Amino acid sequence: MEYSNQFRTETDSLGEINVPKSAYYGAQTQRAINNFQISGKRLPKSFIKAQGIIKVSAAVTNMELGMLSKTSGEAIIQAAQEVIDGKWDDQFVVDIYQAGAGTSQNMNMNEVIAHRASEILDGYRHSHHVHPNDHVNMNQSTNDTFHAAIHLAAIEMINQKLLPSIQNLKDELEKKSIELMPIRKSGRTHLHDAIPIRLGQEFSGYAATINTAYEQILKNADALYEIGLGGTAIGTRMNLPPEYIPKIMKEVCERTGLPFREPPNMFQFMQNTNAPIRTMLALKELCIHLIKITSDLRLLASGPRTGLAEITLPSVQPGSTIMPGKVNPAILEMTHMVCCQIIGYEAAMTTAGIAGQLEINVMMPIIAHTLLESIELLSNAIPTLVSKCIIGIQGNEMICNKYMHESLALVTALSPIMGYDRAAKIGKQADEENVTIKQVLQQKNLLTPEIEKALDPNRMV
């Protein structure tokens, strides 16, 4: 190994390559850096942490099995724990658009841990006292560990960040529903007049919709607890001691506090990306509902003088560089944009999922990126939606009441009394003359006490 002022020369199976002298990564990572200058994006810290947990668990297991010396094993455990703690985040430098299956990413992890472990042992990070493949990657393959790391990272983020955020959104919508329940208003179908509804009832529908999405994510994400550690290259467990899988599974469960389990069929796990696909579908469904809800709220808040203006949103920032004083529904627009991005990511996930061939799906890096990025985006956007918008929504009872009493759909109450056809003619006349249903009935001397009682919109909700 030769050194210059800024670089050292390392060797791999393809020959020599210069690597920055200060780097903990090695030759294979450097080749990936040189080959894949695509997006400048890296896999997130959650994924790096998950890889670190797997490397620690493998080292503990291999030491217990007598395959890894105590000296090397303890150094690997310390180095991997530092990775888990985020100490070496700047050393994970491979672009998300990289060689298939994530081999470059796995070698980036192996090399950083190996060099740091060597440094722990003899103070010299590039001595190769600990080897990235022979020691750090012992009894592992990219194909089983990268796949498993996706599951680890995703389910941790879902449990710790996403599900609590969704639960809080549901809770706040329920609170808002109770608060707004006294306000009656005109319903709308096809964006046209419909029979009356309570404003709180609309919000109760939003809350129930979010709760259903929460339950679907919880159900679909359960498959993420299946991790195929020990499948090695294609699921055959080649070179693996029989005790390895139960031991490493136990170690991962203890270190994460999560109930990971072996897949029913290791080959299915290696060949497919079932759990990420299912989870992504549930995230897409949540986004569809969030777009509907945020679009509704934008309509209900439109105005303030020329729109519906049935609700008022909190003002969070100026809305125009040319129109003074204008305030836009910024938080709702942000949420809609996030959801558009995630729906696009789901399409990427689908395309990557159908790219599996024979014993493996090599699109793992983009699958990891799309799933973890989606969870992160939603975990950040939803609390912002709640704190900066939902909590501060106010109902405009005066406007709601005005629209309700002018609604042509009130004629629906006349159908049981005078029949559908006759009621329709009254509604049509009110529309043509731009008057209320009650005014038409007064013109025709039809406003009996029974009909007046039936037309009271407060009795319709």
Hey, which residues are catalytic here?
Answer: 190, 320
Helix H or strand E segment including 406:
helix 397-406
In 3D space, the residue among 294, 291, 297, 286 whose CA is nearest the CA of residue 199 turns out to be 297
Question: 445-449: long-range contacts (C-beta < 8 A, 24 or more apart)?
Answer: 446/418
CA distance 184 to 176: 14
3 state SS of 334: helix
CB hemisphere CA count around 224 (13 angstroms): 27
**Separation of alpha carbons 92 and 103, rounded Å:** 13
For residue 288, give both structure tokens.
């569809």
> What are the backbone angles phi and psi of residue 396, rounded to the nearest 5°?
-105, 90
d(CA 413, CA 375): 47
Burial (CB count within 10 angstroms: exposed 0-12, middle 13-18, buried 19+), residue 192? exposed
C-alpha dist (Å) from residue 99 to 104, 145, 418: 6, 16, 73
Compute CA distances 48 → 94, 110, 155, 214, 373, whole Å.
Answer: 12, 11, 14, 27, 13
Of the candidates 143, 151, 51, 153, the one whose C-alpha atom is nearest the C-alpha of residue 99 is 143
What counts of helices (H) and strands (E) characterise the chain? 17, 6
Distances from the Cα of 278 to the Cαs of 229, 246, 305, 341, 428, in angstroms? 20, 26, 44, 18, 49
3-state secondary structure of 359: coil
- What Rg value do the Cα atoms of the chain yield, rounded? 30
Q: How far apart are CA 223 and CA 123, in angstroms?
A: 43
C-alpha span between 252 and 14 (Å, rounded): 34
Q: Nearest CA to 185 among 437, 398, 453?
A: 398
First-residue to last-residue Cα distance in the chain? 81
